[in-house]
Structure 1
Amino acid sequence: MTFSITARCARTGALGAAISSSSPAVASRCAFVSPTAGAVCSQNVTDPRLGPRLLGLLELGTSAVEAIEQVASTEPNIEYRQLTAVAPDGEPAVHSGRNALGTYGAVVGEHCVAAGNLLASEGVLDAMVEAFDADDSAPLARRLLTAMTAALAAGGEEGPVHSAGVLVAHDAPWPVVDLRVDWTEGDPIAELVSLLDIWEPQQHDYVQRGLNPAAAPSFGVPGDQ
């Protein structure tokens, strides 16, 4: 009941993940990023503790492959879990437990890994990686949502999705993109694209307000000098 893409931008060093599901608020418990360590997803009968554990291993310099292998070999109930990890360099990695739901799988690209369960078909994952790789000049958040849109066009889940989120870490100690649609009867990925359209032109200004407020632009609201 989930499909996701975890990735890095080889051009800028940004790290991020995007995810969608038929369940509510999927990004709040399944997607995790660190500006120095990497990006991970923990999905399918989710254990939200596994995301921070993977990031902690990546922070220590463990490769994505080694981090996934270590968690998969030591965590109870791992057969129910689907995990992805991308570090700032090296091969992306994935674990799909044998009790993952419905049609499930993963496709590992050079700089990304797409994974899902209860999919309409395995071709959904190929469509995600192909769409992500199509334009490496675009900002990472935009590439992630292009991949998610392609997944939905290729069939997405077996049923409708209701929530989605995108996270990107780059140039700040916090996620510079952290957008979510926690529930909608419409298309959460399209709504997320609309949110990104609003956020993207202001993203750098909000980073500046955190790091160097004296040099940051005004908010442009009444009373703001």
Structure 2
Amino acid sequence: MTLSIVAHSRAEKSWGVAVASRYLAVGAMVPAAEFGVGALATQARTNMAYREDGLSLLRAGLGATEVVEALVGDDDRSGERQVGVVDRDGMAAAWTGAQCGAFAGARLGEGYAVLGNLLAGEEVLEAMESAWLSADSATPLADQLLAALAAGDEAGGDRRGRQSAAVFVVGLNGIGHGTHVEVDLRVDDAPAPISELIRLRQLHRQLHDMS
């Protein structure tokens, strides 16, 4: 019931997740990222334990594929889960359980994983991947993620409709002392959550640049 992109910017040394869903407050459930460690999205019949467990495995030095295998291997309901991981080196891996609602699937490449379930169709993932691959590498990671999310939404997105969206990015330039969190924005309940998230990101960038 969600579309998301997990990615790494080697140039910025940042990791992040953007996600949207016809579900309340998806940003409180799906994304996780840690500077120098990696990022992941856990969705479908969301197992929120994947977030901390996945980051812990990444901290221990496991690669993306090993992390995905460990998470679903220890889960007796893995057929209902979907997870995407990008590790510290930008390697990506994903799992889509056979019981995830159609259309469900993932697309992977160097530095990114695009995934979704209960989508309008495979064209949603195709649009997200195309937007990611065509982005200017000089564009901040948060804006690349949002562009990919918007492209997926325009291609049909979550086939049930729209409700919430979020973007979470960690990197070198944290917005507060003692943190590597660069962007942490959520729209929990709105008719057009991605448009609202993009508006908040524009405001966030203006305030951050001023400071």
1:114 aligns with 2:114: yes
2:184 to 157, 178, 181: 178
User: What one-letter code is carried by the residue in structure 1 that aligns with 2:187?
Assistant: V
Aligned equivalents of 2:77, 2:120: Cα separation in 1: 25
Change (3 A) 1:204 1:64: farther
**Deviations for 1:10-69, whole angstroms, at most 9, x for unmatched residues?**
211110000000010001011111012111000001111111111110011110111111
Change (3 A) 1:44 1:11: same
Aligned equivalents of 1:121, 1:60: Cα separation in 2: 36
CA drift of 1:129 comes to 1.3
Q: Highest CA radius of gyration, 1 or 2?
A: 1
Query: Which of the pair is proportionally richer in strand?
Result: 2
1:188 aligns with 2:193: yes
SS of 2:29's equivalent in the other structure is helix
The residue number in structure 2 matching 1:44 is: 44
User: What one-letter code is carried by the residue in structure 1 that aligns with 2:195?
Assistant: A
Q: How does 1:1-225 map to 2 (within 5 A)?
A: 1-134=1-134, 135-171=136-172, 172=174, 173-184=179-190, 186-203=191-208
Listed as ranges, the gaps of 5+ residues in structure 2 are none
Q: What's the % identity of the aligned pairs?
A: 34
SS of 1:156's equivalent in the other structure is coil
5-14 or 170-179: bigger deviation: 170-179
The aligned length equals 205
Check conservation: 2:127, 2:148, Cα contact below 8 A: yes
User: What one-letter code is carried by the residue in structure 2 that aligns with 1:56?
Assistant: S
Aligned equivalents of 1:66, 1:202: Cα separation in 2: 39
User: What TM-score do the two structures reach when normalised by structure 2?
Assistant: 0.93
Give the superposed CA RMSD: 1.3
SS of 1:20's equivalent in the other structure is strand
**Deviations for 1:94-128, whole angstroms, at most 9, x for unmatched residues?**
01111111210000021111000011111111111
CA drift of 1:90 comes to 4.4
User: What one-letter code is carried by the residue in structure 1 that aligns with 2:183?
Assistant: V
SS of 1:19's equivalent in the other structure is strand
User: What one-letter code is carried by the residue in structure 1 that aligns with 2:52?
Assistant: P
The residue number in structure 2 matching 1:208 is: none
**Deviations for 1:155-191, whole angstroms, at most 9, x for unmatched residues?**
111121100000000124342200000001x210010
Change (3 A) 1:204 1:38: farther
